[in-house]
Amino acid sequence: MRNDASPNTADPGALRAARDLLLAHRTEYTAAVTRFAWPALDEFNWALDWFDVIAAEHPDRLALRVVGDDGSDEALSYAALAARSAQVANWLRGLGVRRGDHVLLMLGNIVPLWEAMLAAMKLGAVVIPASTLLQPADLEDRIARGHVRHVIAEAGLATRFAGIPGDWTRIVAGPAHRYYGALDDAGQWHNYAEAASAPAEFTPDGVTRASDPLLLYFTSGTTSQPKLVGHTQVSYPVGHLSTMYWIGIQPGDVHLNISSPGWAKHAWSNFFAPWNASATILILNQARFNAQGMLKALGDCGVTTFCAPPTVWRMLIQADLSAADVSVLRECVAAGEPLNPEVIEQVRKAWGITVRDGFGQTETTALVGNSPGQPVKAGSMGRPLPGYPVVLVDPVTGAPGRDGEICLDLARRPLGLMTGYAGDAEREAEAMRGGYYHTGDVASQDDDGYITYVGRTDDVFKASDYRISPFELESVLIEHAAIAEAAVVPSPDPLRLAVPKAYVLLAADAVAGPELARDIMAFVRMRVPGYKRIRRVEFGDLPKTISGKIRRVELRGQEHEPRGTRGSTEFWEEDFSWLPALRFAPHRAVPVYLVRPRRVDIGWSRPPVRDQDDARVYQVQAREDEPAEFFGGAGLNGHACRLVGVFKRVDADGVVLR
């Protein structure tokens, strides 16, 4: 049923034209960026004016398939889901859900989630997605700050709402025997299954305008109390054309995305982007992550496009990637946090597919990414996507430049940008200051327009007056075989103000101790300049938000808390001797050492020595203010050393200056 309660019906033609242009230029980045323009929409309801239209055109095409690790396999065509969501919309209207009402959805990856989302959109209601990990205190905050009028919760989660005050409608989805016995207020909860008896023809009660509110997202709160992000009937539904383009989804594709309901990325890749492309959404509903099961599903379910967060990619490369049938898999992408180059390379070797990185926020759709068919530069998350005027702004001067905060030019405001932070005018003004939307993320841009992520503005820090990017060091750390995850923060130091410290979560077989701490420090020393090296290591769990992002703000605060003595799992650089020579694997650049009393700095000779069985390390003593030489082993068994560099001096921090 179209959004046709007024004489001026919405026309999906503008959206279709914009989509088709991106599909036509899916591997032609310059043409896509140059020719694309956001569709101008006035009256528009995505569920009625897009999804139902696609359902009429392709009634038998699979829209949604949910495969459970319990053997369940539920699939709905576009036509079936259009009809089912109309029934749910009619039933919700009978329970009092009205246009503009706020509806909180706390559902896992089950079919009612998609039905209820479409139904709420058809009604003109405002949806507040909620993670299934939320606890009663979180829910009470969301119901209060989100002005919630109605709650739809999955069986087994409804008990978390017990005792939360408010006159809001209670709806529970799931078999009755799973929840009524556990609920003190069972009589107040409506059974979602009753919606199946409602009429399958839906008529809207009025016009939905493009500027009407549709979504309110609570952010994950990595640095502060979660913000409440507002999106309109078009900013996410139509704005995710950029996400469709970045992923490379085409009509008829089977798209698998690994994401938890309640967070923005779930709407990105498990709702709007695939259905904008008229593709099939595949959901693997695993109770616990199973890498082997996921790899098997790629072939069994005919996955053509695949998106997963870096954490999942890192777990997948620990499994046997070669066991997966990727004969029809065409595109692989990662989002949520920057993906480390080592992971990309391992997937490329196993599958012959390059995992393409992308960047966006709850406040936006995908705004930077490596698009299909374009060269991928190691470490870069790509270029600005069609429709997004990305500018790097110097945080000190406010001037655009090659390095700075990732911002969006509000003079060319992209459709996919949020309306603002609900109930927080101060935060909203801060984010929109100076004619730009400020993402809070710092990056650099090269001559070809490729953008490399540096970190959050509040994560980047200085050590000995050098700017340190935690992400750069974390990318090196997780290449170590013993490390599963790592977070780098500044640790106070009386001489250097701060030094890089790594909090490390070890892989399953690794054992924490001084030997491993020294090995990790040495590993990083050989891969970064001396001033960036990790000087402190602490083993343990990493604090995370309920969405799985590391809370570095908590680790930074922990570093400034007064401590009497170091714990048994924390190790400092000065705990170890760094003078003994080491042996390195063949066919590697030869390590060269510059040694001063109580300190050694590692560099690399160029070009790498080849055709040798191993390489010896040569050392040369030097005082701080005397000329220092780098020597590398160019041969074996007494052959002469090769001078690879002469430097003026070594400063007090051990940094070689030309």
Residue-wise pLDDT tens digits, 205-233: 999 999 999 999 998 655 557 889 999 99
Model pLDDT, residue 620? 34
- The three-class DSSP label of residue 400 is strand
Model confidence at 183, pLDDT cuts 50, 70, 90, reads low
Q: Where is the domain boundary, 529, 548, 575?
A: 575
Q: Which residues contact 7 (CB under 8 A, 6 or more apart)?
A: none
Give the H or E element holding residue 296: helix 291-300
Within a domain: 83? yes
Query: Would you tell me how many other CB atoms lie within 10 Å of the CB of residue 642?
Result: 16
Supply the pLDDT for residue 21: 98
For strands 102-106 and 126-129, give the pairing.
parallel
Domain annotation covers residue 434: no
- From the list 253, 297, 302, the residue with the least C-alpha distance to 275 is 253
Residue 634 has pLDDT above 90, yes or no: no
- Paired residues of 206 in beta bridges: none
Bridge pairing between strands 591-596 and 599-604: antiparallel
Contact 450, 377 (CB under 8 A): yes
Least confident segment among 307-321, 391-405, 425-439, 620-634: 620-634
| Sign of the alpha-carbon dihedral angle for 153, 157, 160, 162 | positive
Tell whether the model's pLDDT for residue 430 goes beyond 90. Answer: yes
Scanning the structure block, which residue is given the tokens 């020597």?
631
User: pLDDT at position 619, please?
Assistant: 34
Helix (H, G, I), strand (E, B) or coil at 168: coil
Which pLDDT score, from 0 to 100, does residue 643 have?
36
The amino acid present at 23, given as its one-letter code, is L
The predicted structure's pLDDT at residue 3: 46
Of residues 344 and 648, more confidence is placed in: 344
- Specify the pairing of strand 62-68 against strand 280-285: parallel
Residue 529 — pLDDT band, cuts 50, 70, 90?
A: confident
Q: What's the pLDDT at 648?
A: 34
Report residue 178's pLDDT band, with 50, 70 and 90 as the boundaries.
Answer: low
Note whether 511 and 620 are same-domain residues.
no
Q: What is the pLDDT of residue 224?
A: 57
Q: What is the 3-state secondary structure (H, E, C) of 105-133?
A: EECCCCHHHHHHHHHHHHHCCEEEECCCC
Taking residues 446-451, report their average pLDDT: 96
Task: Give the whole-number percent of the chain exceeding pLDDT 90.
Answer: 60
Helices (H), 161-225: none
What's 565's domain CATH number?
3.30.300.30
10 in any annotated domain: no
The pLDDT value given to residue 19: 98
What CATH number is attached to the domain comprising 136?
3.40.50.12780
Q: What is the pLDDT of residue 479?
A: 87
What percent of the chain has a predicted confidence (pLDDT) above 70?
82
Q: Specify the number of domains making up the chain.
A: 3
For residue range 245-277, list pLDDT tens digits in order: 999 999 999 999 999 899 899 999 999 999 999
- Both 614 and 535 in one domain: the answer is no
pLDDT class of 287 with cuts at 50, 70, 90 = confident
Structure confidence at residue 611 as a pLDDT band (50, 70, 90) = very low
* 436 vs 397 pLDDT, higher one: 436
Q: What is the mean pLDDT of residues 266-293?
A: 94
**Domain assignment of residue 217, given as a range:** 41-238
Residue linked to tokens 């701080």? 624
Residues 82 and 201 in one domain: yes
Residue 563 and residue 495 share a domain: yes
Least confident of 45-59, 92-106, 397-411, 600-614: 600-614
Average pLDDT over residues 456-482: 80
Residues 553 and 595 in one domain: no
Strand partners, 400: 393
Say if residue 524 is in the same domain as residue 620: no
pLDDT at site 454: 81
- Rounded to the nearest integer, the mean pLDDT of the chain is 84
Residue in the block written with tokens 């090269």: 446
Q: What is the C-alpha to C-alpha distance for residues 237 and 12, in angstroms, rounded to an integer?
A: 12
In a domain, 15, yes or no: no
Task: Please check whether residues 514 and 635 belong to one and the same domain.
Answer: no
506 and 464, same domain (yes or no): yes
**Do 151 and 49 share a structural domain?**
yes
Would you state the pLDDT for residue 468? Answer: 83
Q: Report residue 459's pLDDT band, with 50, 70 and 90 as the boundaries.
A: confident
pLDDT in the model for residue 496: 74
| Model confidence at 93: pLDDT above 80 | yes
| pLDDT value of position 10 | 55
- Domain-ending residue, one of 218, 238, 258: 238
Answer yes or no: do 153 and 112 share one domain: yes
**pLDDT (0 to 100) of residue 592:** 43
**Domain end point (choices 206, 238, 270):** 238
Residue 438 lies in a domain: no
Q: Is the pLDDT of residue 238 over 50?
A: yes
Quick: pLDDT tens for 35-85. Answer: 999 999 999 999 999 999 999 999 999 999 999 988 899 999 999 999 999
Q: Does 325 fall in a domain?
A: no
Tell me what the mean pLDDT of segment 4-25 comes to: 76
Of 313-322, 573-582, 589-598, the least confident: 589-598
DSSP state of 608: P
Query: Model confidence over 589-609: pLDDT tens digits?
Result: 444 444 333 333 444 433 333
Residue 23 has pLDDT above 90, yes or no: yes
Q: Is the pLDDT at 149 greater than 50, yes or no?
A: yes
* 284 lies in some domain: no
Both 481 and 554 in one domain: the answer is yes
Say yes or no: 85 and 181 in one domain.
yes
Q: Identify whether 389 is part of a domain.
A: no
The whole-number pLDDT of residue 625 equals: 35
406 pLDDT more than 50: yes
C-alpha 424/C-alpha 421 separation (Å) is 6
